[in-house]
Chains A and B, each alone.
Chain A
């Protein structure tokens, strides 16, 4: 029953799209105000998508295996929480989530933009509907979450156990609010370009949407990393895997866009940057969806490997690209009125430099991710592009980038001079000395690391000083930049101070080294709702004092029949202790991996701090309004 309602709701939504298109065109042509029918229709469309989404959730809760999505991804013994989150943990359900965000955002946009020009609002609605229709047709034709199977199986195939995790349950909704939310920026910029509305007023208005999308995208990426760290058992949080890169690229574009809009809301500058970046963000989101759902790339967590679906998304994506190219080239007026030469030491220039570096980082990630495809198609050779590539090309450039982040915000608009800036040099000297000491103490070689630490510390101290001396002025910016410096410092310290022990142990055996001993005391067997666990108890001693007791698990799930290794992680402010246990084929011993990872939690905290910066900026505007 729920599936039936869900299925019909999709068709109704499509119907509403058609009605909206019709009335939008009508409203554009006539001279009366914004047609409130459009608002009602948009709301009804949203309602039907919500209904459809709930239909799917209910089908999952009831383990309705006549629904092929539920059959493929669920099981009666799955805990309720994961039955619900399983709704969007698969290709079809996640597309329904796409539609939910698309329709929600356009509705929220319409009710919050009542003071904006009519033509602009109608056109934004129109462009967004093009995207919505594309997804509705894609969903109904190739990925229907309500496809039926007959005869009805008595049991489902189950959800992959590594997806049964709280962080992964909320990761897609949060990520999509950012990722898919950038659709509104895309539609809005095309509408604004076509009506010659790229102006300071438009910038002020769209800035809030950029912030919403950005905050959720930042948090969504964070959740994905946290999940990878806690669940995948390798102790890392970023692997430059295509799925990760595909979420990072829109974030880079969106961050750059935000900085350009900060300029645009004050002066009519950087309009081409704003338009292109607005288009690029959503385009990158769509390309990302294409790359990970079509099977074109080999990745740890691709969900659907279906070239037919891939082809549809590819064509849809390029249709949107060509549409935006058309609007840009034929409607966009470059800011020819203003002198576009900036003085070298000014805030405008520092934003340009920011753009320059960010676009470089974006290029590195994009090229690294899709180059293997190009090479394979053109020369039939396969290569891998992994973390070393990204590190070599990005890390050296972080140095000037961090320095520019420290100095840029301090420059004045139009022109700056170098008086009264002695503190800048003083803090630089302190950073340099501190870094030098750290490099010496940790015995790390390489010039690059010293300068890297210096520039990270520099940003850190400058933002900290600005907070204490200037208080709430530019608070949002300070918080975000401070968070970024903390992120780089945490990653650096974590990288240089981490250590690990890998060894094979039987029950009762002990590993001894100069620094610590690990005693494999015993194993326990426990039965849970949908798995059986073998829990190992390990006593870690340092200098004969008990430091930690760690209990990594091996879980044997019933459906699907998979064995997973669950790490035990002990976290505190100073470091994480991370341990995994794995079976060795044909042997009685287990392979144990014990890692000490300092400052891990600061990596998560710093990203949260960065998003707070965005949050502050969002609410600051509310005060001023």
Chain B
């Protein structure tokens, strides 16, 4: 073994070792930061996105409306996706009843994968905050809105989605909507 093998090893140590150490430190840093992030995916809400165009049946009737017809007036709309079998929907219901009092806001309900009888029972029990109820028995309309569960709520103005709430409304979100509608 001569000098060449020795200096080769030195060179290897000089370049490869720092490079390896730096790479591992980088990986460590990324994993460390990654630990504190949530691993559950929630779709991003893009503000000021146009509402989807679709046709939908009115609740408990054969009549069909288009999205244009539903959101035609120059006021704020709140589209609330709900179902009688959905427990968090019960929790958020009082907030919807409060919002019903707001003159600037109309609440449109989208009854998701529900039976007419059960939905009616639900509304009779907890009162009806909706000026209009639409029926989404197979869940396909909700998908047009980019929703994936119940409840989800959309604040709409001028054909655009201003705010999206995933999950039940709480006090903070309720206040945010009130502020946005002023």
* A–B proximity contact (CB within 8 A): yes
Using known A-B contacts A294-B35, A586-B113, determine if residue A337 contacts B17 with beta carbons closer than 8 Å. no
Interface check B115, CB cutoff 8 A:
yes
Task: Give every chain A residue within 8 A of B31 (Cβ-Cβ).
Answer: 290, 296, 314, 373
A578 to B28, CA, bound (A): 44
Task: Give every chain A residue within 8 A of B143 (Cβ-Cβ).
Answer: none
Asked if A586 and B114 make an inter-chain contact with CB atoms under 8 angstroms apart, the answer reads yes
Question: A286-314: contact bitstring with B at CB < 8 Å (1 yes, 0 no)?
Answer: 00001000111110000001010011001
Interface check A336, CB cutoff 8 A:
yes
Question: Pick the contact of B39 from A295, A318, A325, A334 — CB < 8 Å?
Answer: A295
Question: Pick the contact of A374 from B1, B17, B30 — CB < 8 Å?
Answer: B30
Interface check B24, CB cutoff 8 A:
yes
Interface check A574, CB cutoff 8 A:
no
Asked if B40 and A298 make an inter-chain contact with CB atoms under 8 angstroms apart, the answer reads yes
A325 to B1, CA, bound (A): 24
Interface check A585, CB cutoff 8 A:
yes
Q: Of the 9-residue stretches A13-21, A376-384, A464-472, A474-482, which lies at the interface with chain B?
A: A376-384
Task: Give every chain A residue within 8 A of B16 (Cβ-Cβ).
Answer: 329
Using known A-B contacts A586-B113, A586-B115, determine if residue A336 contacts B5 with beta carbons closer than 8 Å. yes
Interface residues of A in 321-344 (CB under 8 A from B): 321-322, 325, 329, 334, 336-337
Asked if B5 and A296 make an inter-chain contact with CB atoms under 8 angstroms apart, the answer reads no
A321 to B27, CA, bound (A): 12
Asked if A314 and B32 make an inter-chain contact with CB atoms under 8 angstroms apart, the answer reads yes
Interface check B36, CB cutoff 8 A:
yes
Using known A-B contacts A298-B39, A585-B85, determine if residue A378 contacts B1 with beta carbons closer than 8 Å. no
Residue of B nearest to A584 (CB): B113
Task: Give every chain A residue within 8 A of B114 (Cβ-Cβ).
Answer: 586
Task: Give every chain A residue within 8 A of B21 (Cβ-Cβ).
Answer: 322, 325
Question: A373-397: contact bitstring with B at CB < 8 Å (1 yes, 0 no)?
Answer: 1101110001000000000000000
Asked if B85 and A586 make an inter-chain contact with CB atoms under 8 angstroms apart, the answer reads yes
A585 to B114, CA, bound (A): 9
Task: Give every chain A residue within 8 A of B85 (Cβ-Cβ).
Answer: 585-586
Question: Pick the contact of B28 from A305, A318, A337, A586 — CB < 8 Å?
Answer: A318
A591 to B115, CA, bound (A): 19
SS class, residues of chain A in contact with chain B: helix
Question: Pick the contact of B24 from A322, A373, A374 — CB < 8 Å?
Answer: A322
Tell me how far the C-beta of B137 lies from the nearest C-beta in chain A, rounded to whole angstroms: 9
Task: Give every chain B residue within 8 A of A298 (Cβ-Cβ).
Answer: 39-41
Asked if A329 and B13 make an inter-chain contact with CB atoms under 8 angstroms apart, the answer reads yes
Q: Looking at A297, A325, A382, which has the most chain B CB atoms within 10 Å of its CB?
A: A382
Residue of B nearest to A287 (CB): B31
Residue of A nearest to B139 (CB): A585
Interface check B47, CB cutoff 8 A:
no
Interface check B20, CB cutoff 8 A:
yes
Asked if B36 and A307 make an inter-chain contact with CB atoms under 8 angstroms apart, the answer reads yes
Asked if A295 and B35 make an inter-chain contact with CB atoms under 8 angstroms apart, the answer reads yes
Question: B3-31: contact bitstring with A at CB < 8 Å (1 yes, 0 no)?
Answer: 00100110001001100110010001011
Tell me how far the C-beta of A317 lies from the nearest C-beta in chain B, rounded to whole angstroms: 9
Q: Looking at A305, A329, A334, which has the most chain B CB atoms within 10 Å of its CB?
A: A329
Interface check B46, CB cutoff 8 A:
no
Interface size class of chain A, counting residues whose CB lies under 8 Å from the partner chain: 20 to 34
Asked if B1 and A337 make an inter-chain contact with CB atoms under 8 angstroms apart, the answer reads yes
Asked if B28 and A325 make an inter-chain contact with CB atoms under 8 angstroms apart, the answer reads no
Question: Pick the contact of B17 from A305, A329, A334, A382 — CB < 8 Å?
Answer: A329
Task: Give every chain B residue within 8 A of A322 (Cβ-Cβ).
Answer: 21, 24
Residue of A nearest to B5 (CB): A336
Task: Give every chain B residue within 8 A of A336 (Cβ-Cβ).
Answer: 1, 5, 8-9
Asked if B1 and A310 make an inter-chain contact with CB atoms under 8 angstroms apart, the answer reads no
Tell me how far the C-beta of B116 lies from the nearest C-beta in chain A, rounded to whole angstroms: 11
Residue of A nearest to B31 (CB): A314
Tell me how far the C-beta of B167 lies from the nearest C-beta in chain A, rounded to whole angstroms: 18
Tell me how far the C-beta of B166 lies from the nearest C-beta in chain A, rounded to whole angstroms: 15
Interface residues of A in 25-84 (CB under 8 A from B): none
Tell me how far the C-beta of A84 lies from the nearest C-beta in chain B, rounded to whole angstroms: 32
Task: Give every chain A residue within 8 A of B115 (Cβ-Cβ).
Answer: 586
Task: Give every chain A residue within 8 A of B9 (Cβ-Cβ).
Answer: 334, 336
A-B contact count (CB 8 A): 61
A295 to B123, CA, bound (A): 40
Asked if B33 and A377 make an inter-chain contact with CB atoms under 8 angstroms apart, the answer reads yes
Residue of A nearest to B28 (CB): A318
Using known A-B contacts A318-B24, A322-B24, A586-B113, determine if residue A378 contacts B40 with beta carbons closer than 8 Å. no
Interface check B37, CB cutoff 8 A:
yes
Tell me how far the C-beta of A308 lies from the nearest C-beta in chain B, rounded to whole angstroms: 9
Residue of A nearest to B84 (CB): A586
A290 to B31, CA, bound (A): 10
Asked if A382 and B41 make an inter-chain contact with CB atoms under 8 angstroms apart, the answer reads yes
Interface residues of A in 268-295 (CB under 8 A from B): 290, 294-295
Tell me how far the C-beta of B37 lies from the nearest C-beta in chain A, rounded to whole angstroms: 6
Question: B31-55: contact bitstring with A at CB < 8 Å (1 yes, 0 no)?
Answer: 1111111011100000000000000
Task: Give every chain B residue within 8 A of A296 (Cβ-Cβ).
Answer: 31, 34-35, 37, 39
Q: Looking at B8, B32, B35, B85, which has the most chain A CB atoms within 10 Å of its CB?
A: B35
A373 to B36, CA, bound (A): 11
Task: Give every chain B residue within 8 A of A337 (Cβ-Cβ).
Answer: 1
Asked if A325 and B35 make an inter-chain contact with CB atoms under 8 angstroms apart, the answer reads no
A294 to B21, CA, bound (A): 23
Task: Give every chain A residue within 8 A of B113 (Cβ-Cβ).
Answer: 585-586
Tell me how far the C-beta of A330 lies from the nearest C-beta in chain B, rounded to whole angstroms: 8
Task: Give every chain A residue within 8 A of B30 (Cβ-Cβ).
Answer: 373-374, 377-378
Asked if B37 and A376 make an inter-chain contact with CB atoms under 8 angstroms apart, the answer reads yes
Asked if B24 and A321 make an inter-chain contact with CB atoms under 8 angstroms apart, the answer reads yes
Interface residues of B in 53-81 (CB under 8 A from A): none
Tell me how far the C-beta of A329 lies from the nearest C-beta in chain B, rounded to whole angstroms: 5
Residue of B nearest to A310 (CB): B35
A310 to B5, CA, bound (A): 42
Task: Give every chain A residue within 8 A of B37 (Cβ-Cβ).
Answer: 296, 376-377
Asked if B13 and A307 make an inter-chain contact with CB atoms under 8 angstroms apart, the answer reads no
Tell me how far the C-beta of A340 lies from the nearest C-beta in chain B, rounded to whole angstroms: 11
Task: Give every chain A residue within 8 A of B32 (Cβ-Cβ).
Answer: 311, 314
Using known A-B contacts A329-B13, A329-B17, A377-B30, determine if residue A307 contacts B35 with beta carbons closer than 8 Å. yes
Question: A181-219: contact bitstring with B at CB < 8 Å (1 yes, 0 no)?
Answer: 000000000000000000000000000000000000000
A377 to B26, CA, bound (A): 12
Tell me how far the C-beta of A385 lies from the nearest C-beta in chain B, rounded to whole angstroms: 13
A513 to B31, CA, bound (A): 52
Tell me how far the C-beta of B95 lies from the nearest C-beta in chain A, rounded to whole angstroms: 25
Extra 11 A-B pairs, beta carbons < 8 Å, given A297-B39, A336-B8, A376-B37? A295-B39, A296-B31, A307-B35, A325-B21, A325-B24, A334-B9, A336-B9, A337-B1, A373-B30, A376-B34, A586-B85
Pick the 7 closest A-B CB pairs, nearest first. A336-B5, A298-B39, A373-B34, A307-B35, A377-B33, A310-B35, A377-B34
Q: 26 A–B contact pairs at CB < 8 A?
A: A290-B31, A294-B35, A295-B39, A296-B35, A298-B39, A298-B40, A307-B36, A314-B31, A314-B32, A318-B24, A322-B24, A325-B17, A325-B24, A329-B16, A336-B1, A336-B5, A336-B9, A373-B31, A374-B34, A377-B33, A377-B34, A377-B37, A382-B41, A585-B85, A586-B114, A586-B115
